[in-house]
Structure 1
Amino acid sequence: MCRHLAYLGPSVPIQRLVVDPPLGLYRQSWAPQNQKYGTVNVDGFGVGWYADADPVPARYRRAGPIWADAGFADLARVVRTGALLAAVRSATDGCAAGEAAAAPFVAERWLFSHNGALPGWPRQLGDLAATLPPAELLALEARTDSALVWALVLHRLREGAALGEALASTVREVAEHGDARLNLLLTDGVSIAATTWGDTLCYRSDPGRGVLVASEPSDDEPGWIHLPDRSLLVATADGVTAQTID
């Protein structure tokens, strides 16, 4: 499993979102509070963010733990953004290691992260992989279950699906192939979509401060709302909607 977060709101330093919160993503790499599977998240990390007037996100990823990367500490201190997706990774058995396996995954204007696992990876998921065109399978960024889920989501986005529908329909399809855990997080820099399917997810939306969607609260302040399992969330800087995934 992993921990991840997404943010939309006023431009702030990355450090304020990822490093500074007392229970935030940085700390969740070694001491998550609500993680159901795994104990630490030190098998890689990544941050994707959007700059003003540029719809294509930048990305910084590494194979090791977030707290061991001095370069990230400098970047997080000086780079500001109003839209971000970040994740720390706990690798799943049978999945590739390395920087390419760390979220967020990126294509065009989208950033994506998967917190979960696909049982039977990779041997028992041939039917699922076969639903994708060969060219899209060959373009997988890493040999991981998360990269396959991302390819399924991306196929729907390129077919014109909205963020929320791309996630929900992917979850429904993958869930037919076994007891998968599918907490997904997706942003285009304007909206955030997320699913709960087997692990925790919460959000906080504050007027003037934007919205933060995360695997678990990054502090003890009031206002965090925990979503029930099998939910779909869609958020903008102005508000949040949630519904059950049927």
Structure 2
Amino acid sequence: MCRWIAYSGTPVLLSRILFEPKHNLIDQSLRSRLGVETTNGDGFGIGWYAQDLPTPGVLRDVGPAWNNQNLQEVAHHVCSGLFFAHIRATTGTAVQQSNCHPFRKGRWLWMHNGSIGEFARLRRDLALAVDPALYSDIEGSTDSELMFFLSLTFGLTDDPPGAVERMAGFIERTGHAYGVRHPLQMTVAVADGERLWAFRYSSEGASRSLYYSTRVGALRSRRPETEYLRDLPDTARLIVSEPLGDFPGAWNEVPESTYGIVQPGGDELRAFRPQP
């Protein structure tokens, strides 16, 4: 499967989040503790929003994240208040740049960990449900990108949670019609430049790991001597496939069948229920 990080808060250098924590994403690409695979070396990607620009920037490559000089260069020179990072372990589709996350459409970013069960059998029926006006924008062959375009078809730009619930319900209905017992496994992050949504769900009720960070101010008051916390903004919020370190109280598991919203005015956790 894959590992990913989503950051929201006061703009910081990407390198602060990607490289400095003890169990950072680069370390996870070699030594994942909670993923299905220990090594995630089938490509990587980052996507970030810059002030006053209409669309997010994206950098993706098929090589492993642990030795990519372009990633090092960009991460040490780009500041952003909302960005994604993803390391890939393929579930069967080709290792190619168009299959690396995050995926972008207009102002929207999308990344995924998980799979559609027996995707090769379901792919045609799922693809035919994509809005014809959107279909030509699909670049790769992954189930993850197809999930993104199904969500766009089902109203992502107007109602992100509802669209993802309809996408999940459609995949499950299609899978069950083919006799697939557990059609969907997903942790998904999606953003529009202002808000960040994260979803944890699986048809079998045993979803891949997902965590959100405790507020930095609360952690700093408990451990003021911790240098890494000292420089992080109080607004920093992280959603991650697995914790970036062993700091007590820093990470909270996202409950099963739940989605969260990180947004101005307050964060929320809500129940996730696939819709027909």
The TM-score normalised by the length of structure 2 is: 0.82
Q: 1:218 aligns with which of 238, 241, 244?
A: 244
> Which residue of structure 2 lines up, in the alignment, with residue 163 of structure 1?
160
After superposing on structure 2, the runs of 4+ consecutive aligned residues of structure 1 that deviate more than 6 Å are none
For residues 29-49 of structure 1, the C-alpha deviation after alignment (integer angstroms, 9 at most, x for no partner) is: 1111211x2221100000000
Q: Percent identity?
A: 29
Gaps of 5+ in 2: 202-206, 218-233
CA contact (8 A) 1:49 1:59 kept: yes
CA displacement 1:95-114 (0-9 Å, x = unmatched): 12211100000011011001
CA distance in 1, matches of 2:73, 2:141: 30
Question: Where do 1:1-246 residues align within 5 Å?
Answer: 1-35=1-35, 37-93=36-92, 95-157=93-155, 160-176=157-173, 177=175, 178=180, 179=182, 180-197=184-201, 198-206=207-215, 208-221=234-247, 222-236=249-263, 238-246=265-273
| Aligned equivalent of 2:220 | none
What residue identity is the alignment partner of 1:54? L
Q: Which moved more, 1:115-124 or 1:167-176?
A: 167-176
Letter in 2 for 1:230: S
Q: CA RMSD, aligned part only?
A: 1.7
How far residue 117 of structure 1 moved from its aligned partner, in angstroms, is 0.8
Question: What are the ranges of 5 or more consecutive residues in structure 1 without an aligned counterpart?
Answer: none
After superposition, the Cα gap between the structure-2 partners of 1:89 and 1:238, relative to the gap in structure 1 and judged at 3 Å, is farther
1:238 deviation in Å?
A: 4.9
Residues paired across the two proteins, number: 243
Greater fraction strand: 1
CA contact (8 A) 2:29 2:87 kept: yes
CA contact (8 A) 1:210 1:237 kept: no
Q: Within 2, Cα distance between the matches of 1:63 and 1:244?
A: 35
Confirm or deny: 8 A CA contact 2:131 2:153 kept in the other structure.
no
Q: Which residue type is aligned with residue 161 of structure 1? A: D
Structure 2 counterpart SS, 1:122: helix
Name the aligned partner's letter for residue 78 of structure 2.
Answer: V
* Structure label with greater radius of gyration: 2
